[in-house]
Amino acid sequence: YIDNIIVARLIGTAELGIYSRAFYLIAMPANLFGNLNKSVVFPLLSQVQDDKARLRTAQLKGYALTAALALPFSAFLSCFANELVLTVLGQKWVDAVVPIMAFSSAIYFRLGYKVCSAVTLATGRSYQTASMQITYMALVASFAFFSAPYGVNAVAFAVSGAIATSSILYAAISCRMTGLSALDFALVHVPPVASAAVVFATGSAVKMLLAGSPDYLVLATGFLVIGTLSVVT
């Protein structure tokens, strides 16, 4: 929560309220996924920690599933951030739209970080896990501090960048541990990225067609259309 302290001290408590509500949207799925890691993923990986091939396959599937869930969800939130805020929180929270868009882009990196953590812990690399936590804290603190003079929106984008940077570093470490190649890691993300692009394009089309309609109607229609498309896909 060091970024919250920086926002409160350097920008203001009102801006902290906006910032924290926006961040909650990405923290919630990350926390749920973290609980899943502890109860299911970690024990499974621990059982195959001495079998590099099976561990590598499980790691790759973890990245694939995480990307398949998170990237389209990120695209949906980024596209409908304005409608979501106005429908759920109300007009007084309109300043939270940009931070929500910023944090939405980091959802996958928050979840991917959990996959990396499960791999390092399951193989007994607790010191590497601790060092990555320290690195993560340092990146968030420094990015938030140096972006604070430019406002809460800048901090949101900077902290999202810090989350992405730490997740990529952690992924590189965990992939090197299991022998997972960079090419396989990249290829497994291609279908989810394509799916996210389709979600964003479909959402943008819905917003164009329903321009001028109530926000709740645009949000509900987008959810229905994209949800149906996702099920069919």
Q: Which residue has better confidence, 169 or 116?
A: 169
Annotate 165-201 with three-state secondary structure: HHHHHHHHHHHHHHCCCHHHHHHCCHHHHHHHHHHHH
pTM of the model: 0.85
Q: How far apart are the first and last CA of the chain?
A: 38
In whole angstroms, what is the distance from residue 195 CA to residue 187 CA? Answer: 14
Q: Which residue has better confidence, 126 or 225?
A: 225
Model pLDDT, residue 58? 82
pLDDT exceeds 80 at position 84: yes
Average pLDDT over residues 42-70: 79
In whole angstroms, what is the distance from residue 119 CA to residue 221 CA? Answer: 39
pLDDT exceeds 90 at position 112: no
pLDDT in tens, 147-182: 999 999 999 999 999 999 999 998 888 888 888 888
pLDDT band at residue 37 using 50, 70 and 90 as cut-offs: low
Cα dihedral 88, 91, 93, 95, rounded to 10, equals: 130
Using a 10 angstrom Cβ sphere, with 0-12 exposed, 13-18 middle and 19 or more buried, the burial of residue 135 is middle
Residue type, 179: G
pLDDT exceeds 90 at position 63: no
pLDDT in tens, 188-229: 999 999 999 999 999 999 999 998 889 899 999 999 999 898
Model pLDDT, residue 219? 92
Average pLDDT over residues 79-104: 89
Position of tokens 């409908």? 80
User: Percent of the chain, pLDDT > 70?
Assistant: 94
Helix (H, G, I), strand (E, B) or coil at 49: coil
pLDDT band at residue 48 using 50, 70 and 90 as cut-offs: low
